[in-house]
Chains A and B, each alone.
Chain A
Amino acid sequence: MKRYVIVGNGIAATGCIEGIRSIDEKGEITVISKEPYPAYGRPLISYFMEDKVKLENISYRNAEYYEEKNCKVLYGCECTGIDTDAKTVKLNNGKAINYDELCIASGSSPFIPAYPGIEGVRNVYTFTTIDDAKMLKEAVTNDKNVLILGSGLIGLKCMEGLFNKAASITVSSRGNQVMSRILDKVTAKDIQKYLEDKGIIFELKDTVDHFDGNIAVMTSGHEIQFDILVMSLGVKPNVSILNGAEEAIKVDESMRTEFKNVYAAGDCVQSEDITDGKTKVMAIIPNAYMGGECAGKNMAGGNAVFDNAMPMNSMSLLEKHIMTAGANREADGVEVMDLSGKSSTKRLYIKDDVIIGYTIVDDVESAGIYTKLIRDRAVLSREQQESLKKSPTIDIYGHDTVKTILESAV
């Protein structure tokens, strides 16, 4: 019987468990889970703050899941190191476990800069775990001023979670736009304006120089007084357990690392983005699940590949819906098809007759058809490109494919 060990218990781990079990029903699976909870969708923490999801519904799978999958989960247990020669993982309780196949699914942790004076600040939070959200929810009251450092997805989702709960919310960022990893400048400006109209204060193009108690003294000299500070300045992969690594783990398309019998998936890995050919961390749930599932199948002797990862996000911010995928920026050789309406945005990015990315605000229905065309790197004829101007339908796949979709089990 094979002994499988998974470090971490997030979505990549869930994919891994399901990948293993699709091939090997018997092997022994041990999951090392630093957090004391069953796997949960991390994005749900902002909805928990808003009371839109209850804690009892936050688990990714049902209550019997680990029993049904016959997995041993070591809750509150941390892996402190991996010996890839002896094939053991060390635990913080002094024990070690042997593995035949290992998957590192340890995700990422908030990056916290060492600002001068930070030790004198009261009420400092991060926003990536259930425990973070519980503490923040407890701390916030409508007489408190909140300062969020970082205007990425996590910072803005935290803003949404706190909306209407605080006296004021200020979001500060070094860059000159919000969500610079996801949005182009124009869309970012629109979103910023939308949020400003709802009362959110943005302090962009400025960074904290130092803290003086609960006052952030900015590089510009501007001072921001606050009661609650949230640090959402990006994340770093939890990879030091693998021989002291600092950068996200490199994996091939079967999710294998350079070490024998060691796989990795999720936020702790870097792999190729099919839309720009660059190797990077693509920290999203779909990639975590599909990478984990691929790793799990291969650990169990299967022959799976996950060779079409790309960044994509679908999120709402105070009722505005933003969907983005792939390489959605202007660049040399990239044609922008702008299908924006009066109150919605839709821009498709096309290179060498292949859609490589999009940005959509609000007009999101059937966007999955564009995503599929990106994923398949489908080369589109002039006529097909012309048809993109109407709302997307499966007709773009061609008549034979449409027939298969309608008439057979897919």
Chain B
Amino acid sequence: MKKLYFNEKWCLGCRLCEYNCAFANSGSKSMVKALKGKDIHPNIHVEGDNNHSYPLNCRQCNDPICVKSCISGALHLEDGIIKIDKTKCVNCMTCMMVCPYGAIVLGDKGTISKCELCTNNQNKVPACAAGCPNKAIVFEER
């Protein structure tokens, strides 16, 4: 299946992916309304500094420890994508306690949030990859 992969060499650390992610998941039509003057809570994060940086989000692990540790059954696999059933999630953050990549984050309302490869919004290609100016983020089969 197609997943997101990152090329550290080409990442400029511009954080555009963070903005595109937050916008894609805001449900808003206007980027300005969605993001300007707000604390954004994207599912992707750029780590590092100017000369060494990389974006990171959920790796959609093949054998995900977050799903196995979930106390409610909210986290589940759907066609290889790790999804959150919001009707079940109680925000216990057990998934955050076990994710070895720090890729499960706190979303807008302080609730658990993670990358679902933009299958939970209107985008066809994950917004972070689509908007990356340097193709440091690609969405492909490996």
Contacts and interface: CB of A to CB of B under 8 A. Distances in A.
A interacts with B? yes
Nearest to B66: A368
Given A285-B71, A372-B100, A392-B102, A409 B93 contact: no
Size bracket of the A interface: 35 or more
A61 interface: yes
A43 B91 CA distance: 12
A141 B72 CA distance: 27
Interface stretch (B1-9, B16-24, B117-125, B127-135): B1-9
B93 A44 contact: no
Given A289-B68, A314-B94, A61 B73 contact: yes
Contact of A395 (B47, B65, B90): B47
Given A15-B68, A364-B93, A407 B88 contact: no
Contact of B72 (A43, A365, A395): A43
Interface stretch (A52-60, A75-83, A90-98, A102-110): A52-60
A323 interface: yes
B91 A41 contact: no
Given A314-B97, A407-B5, A368 B92 contact: no
Contacts of B65: 286
A248 to B, nearest CB: 21
Contact of B6 (A285, A312, A406): A406
B59 interface: yes
A174 interface: no
A286 B68 contact: yes
A316 B96 contact: no
B8 A286 contact: no
A388 B6 CA distance: 24
B100 to A, nearest CB: 4
A372 B61 CA distance: 15
A390 to B, nearest CB: 11
Nearest to A285: B71
Contacts of A293: 68
Interface in B44-63: 47-48, 54, 56, 59, 61-62
Contacts of B100: 368-369, 371-372, 394
Nearest to A368: B99
12 contacts: A44-B90, A60-B72, A285-B69, A286-B69, A293-B68, A316-B91, A323-B97, A366-B96, A394-B100, A394-B101, A402-B8, A407-B7
8 pairs of A and B residues whose beta carbons are closest in the complex: A366-B102, A372-B100, A286-B69, A60-B73, A368-B99, A406-B6, A314-B97, A314-B94
